[in-house]
Structure 1
């Protein structure tokens, strides 16, 4: 009697994700967990009224200082109905964008690791907020969102159950979802310039 070995086909790059490099990175981090310790940074500046700009140039990760391939910035403001000039999205909209981007990135990575070809992923995220809290008019109302709803429309070469499982795995591994649902200590220091 002979024993035949069945080899699984190698995972290939898919959905824009370089799977061989991703798998190799998992192996390296598994052997040296300190490589996974990152510190991300944002630098903000007030421009006028409720308008500000936040820049992102570098971060610490993979045991050293890193630079983005270019400098990035986002503009934040309040809409005119909230006494702003509407020069950018509101900070709470940025939070919704961060959740959308994190979950969508996770979907792309997880689908690629499972060798599921995606055709499209569309996100709809809404957050409810009662401004009586942030305006100081009702101390019983919280300042932030009272609830957030995320809906994903995902199409790919897999069953609906497999695609839904990919979305749920993305939620389970999402850093932004974790911060929103579990909280994180935040310290604030004011330094006179």
Structure 2
């Protein structure tokens, strides 16, 4: 183990793993978000309740505010982060969490983690110009730099391979998931 400070308390993580093993329902978590348009392409959102093991925690409702918009070149007013940038933020944040957890489990102390992402989209799909082009991302690229003094590169490479297998947001983006849209 290096002199770097652990990102995540390994004992707290082990306790969480044990708790979910003993009571699997603790592993069932639902995040929620509420949003309202604010003219143009802007959306104001706030965190909703968090549900874990069937228990609703309303203390998160409205605790954090998020705004989205599009750049002027994409007909927005450029007053906030774009939805594509939020997708990248979600993936980057999940990578940071997943790397911290995996490192703690593997006894690797992280000094720093840097992620740089790119989201490629072809507007021909979104605009309905070319039915052969999907409206979503064509590719999302992530560069990860991990600093862990004293840890051999092979262990860091193994950590990044595990990251790709265990990141919930990467899994959500890389594999089909049911998205149910209901008109209220």
TM-score normalised by structure 2 residue count: 0.90
Equivalent position of 1:74 in the other structure: 66
- Aligned residue number for residue 37 of structure 1: 28
- Change over 3 Å in CA distance of 1:52–1:111 after alignment to 2: same
Report if aligned partners of 2:49, 2:61 keep a CA contact under 8 Å in 1. no
Do structure 1's residue 187 and structure 2's residue 161 form an aligned pair?
A: no
* Pairing of 1:101-120 with structure 2 (within 5 A): 101-120=93-112
Structure 1 residue ranges without an equivalent (≥5): 1-13
- Which of residues 100, 122, 146 in structure 1 aligns to 2:138? 146
Q: Tell me the CA shift for residue 63 of structure 1.
A: 4.1
**Residue equivalent to 2:84:** 92
Question: SS where residue 146 of structure 1 aligns?
Answer: strand
The alignment's TM-score, normalised by the length of structure 1, stands at 0.86
- For CA contacts below 8 A with separation 6 or more, give which structure has more relative contact order: 2
- SS state at 1:45 partner: strand
Cα RMSD (Å): 1.6
CA distance in 1, matches of 2:81, 2:21: 39
The superposition leaves residues 63-120 of structure 1 with CA deviations (integer Å, 9 ceiling, x where unpaired) of: 4112339711211001111111011111111111111111111111111222211111
Match of 1:156 in 2: 148
Aligned residues: 178
Q: Radius of gyration: which is bigger?
A: 1
In structure 2, stretches of 5+ residues that fail to align are: none
